[in-house]
């Protein structure tokens, strides 16, 4: 069977946790929260993920968001769905809500280094679902989109971009890598990062395709050659952009030709 009893149980538990127990909404919106974990599960199913991973996607916020009166625990998920599912859910669950926003996001970013490929795929689907919603909201509402969050627009966007780079660095051939790069480029275009992090300007004589460069926005590191994102169409010089978020990193000016 494709629509198995285990997946049905996961949908029921997630619906109870997010909708029945608390009528949880998407942040600052009148949209049921349950739409998010179901979207994550759908994204994972589209990658051909295992049943365990699809179930983890559906349940990925249940431990973190369940109410004290109806707490969902790792042990509960293990009893119903098995150790692998509970381990996956726990891997993307914030462990200490008492920390500041910055501390929690920094801790989560560091944790990605230890992720299995299944956890990387789960985190990727979560990011794609969240950021696609932000991108869509921004197209409709503009800057008002970010008023509902607990951090500034730039911090929110950069945290997503740093996380995307960390995932791609760990697994560049992930089936969701292209989707991650797509949303990263959209997020970078929404942010005002060029003024904050202007491209490095050099003379063409100092340019080398193997010179080290890095993106201050998403933390990608490499060389012009490895970026594979070199624009030579301008008569004034060539430019190199980040392969993940598409921010311009380097401009090498051609020498002036005296008439």
- State whether 199 and 92 are in the same domain: no
Alpha helices by DSSP H, listed for the chain, are 5-15, 35-46, 51-59, 62-65, 74-81, 83-91, 101-111, 117-141, 153-170, 177-190, 193-196, 224-227
The pTM assigned to this predicted structure is 0.94
Is it the case that residue 259 has pLDDT exceeding 60? no
Asked if residue 172 and residue 53 are part of one domain, the reply reads yes
The pLDDT tens digits of the residues spanning 161-219 come to 999 999 999 999 999 999 999 999 999 999 988 888 999 999 999 999 999 999 999 99
Residues 97 and 10 both lie in one domain: yes
| Same domain? 84 vs 201 | no
Same domain, yes or no: 16 and 95: yes
How many CA atoms are closer than 13 Å to the CA of 258, on its beta-carbon side? 0
> Tens digits of per-residue pLDDT, 29-73?
999 999 999 999 999 999 999 999 999 999 999 999 999 999 999
Least confident of 82-86, 153-157, 193-197, 202-206: 193-197
pLDDT > 60? residue 258: no
- 130: domain CATH number is 1.10.3210.10
Interhelix angle 51-59/35-46, rounded to 10 degrees, is: 160
133 plus 170 within the same structural domain: yes
Helix (H, G, I), strand (E, B) or coil at 231: strand
Order of strands, edge to edge, in the sheet holding 248-253? 200-203, 248-253, 237-241, 230-231
Residues 143 and 177 reside in one and the same domain: yes
Q: Kindly state whether residue 106 falls inside one of the protein's structural domains.
A: yes
Domain carrying residue 99:
5-190
User: Does residue 259 lie in a domain region?
Assistant: no
Closest CA to 228 of 190, 172, 179: 172
Could you tell me if 59 and 89 are in contact, meaning their C-beta atoms sit under 8 angstroms apart? yes
């Amino acid at each position: 069977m494709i629509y198995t009893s285990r997946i049905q149980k996961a949908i029921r538990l997630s619906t109870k946790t997010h909708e029945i127990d608390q009528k949880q909404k998407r942040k600052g919106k009148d949209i049921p929260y349950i739409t998010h974990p179901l979207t994550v599960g759908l994204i994972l199913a589209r990658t051909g993920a295992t049943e365990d991973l699809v179930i983890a996607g559906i349940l990925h916020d249940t431990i973190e968001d369940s109410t004290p009166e109806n707490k969902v625990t790792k042990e509960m998920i293990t009893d119903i769905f098995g150790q692998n599912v509970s381990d996956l859910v726990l891997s993307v669950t914030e462990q200490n809500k008492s920390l500041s926003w910055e501390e929690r996001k920094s801790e989560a970013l560091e944790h990605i280094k230890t992720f299995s490929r299944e956890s990387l795929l789960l985190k990727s689907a979560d990011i794609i679902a969240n950021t696609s919603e932000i991108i869509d909201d921004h197209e409709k509402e503009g800057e008002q989109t970010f008023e509902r969050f607990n951090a500034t627009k730039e911090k929110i966007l950069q945290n997503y971009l740093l996380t995307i780079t960390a995932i791609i660095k760990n697994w560049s051939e992930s089936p969701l890598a292209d989707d991650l790069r797509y949303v990263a480029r959209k997020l970078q275009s929404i942010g005002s990062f060029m003024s904050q992090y202007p491209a490095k300007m050099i003379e063409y004589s100092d340019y080398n395709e193997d010179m080290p460069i890095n993106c201050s926005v998403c933390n990608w590191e490499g060389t012009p050659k490895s970026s594979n994102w070199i624009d030579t169409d301008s008569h004034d010089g060539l430019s190199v952009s980040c392969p993940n978020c598409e921010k311009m990193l380097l401009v090498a000016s051609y020498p002036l030709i005296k008439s």
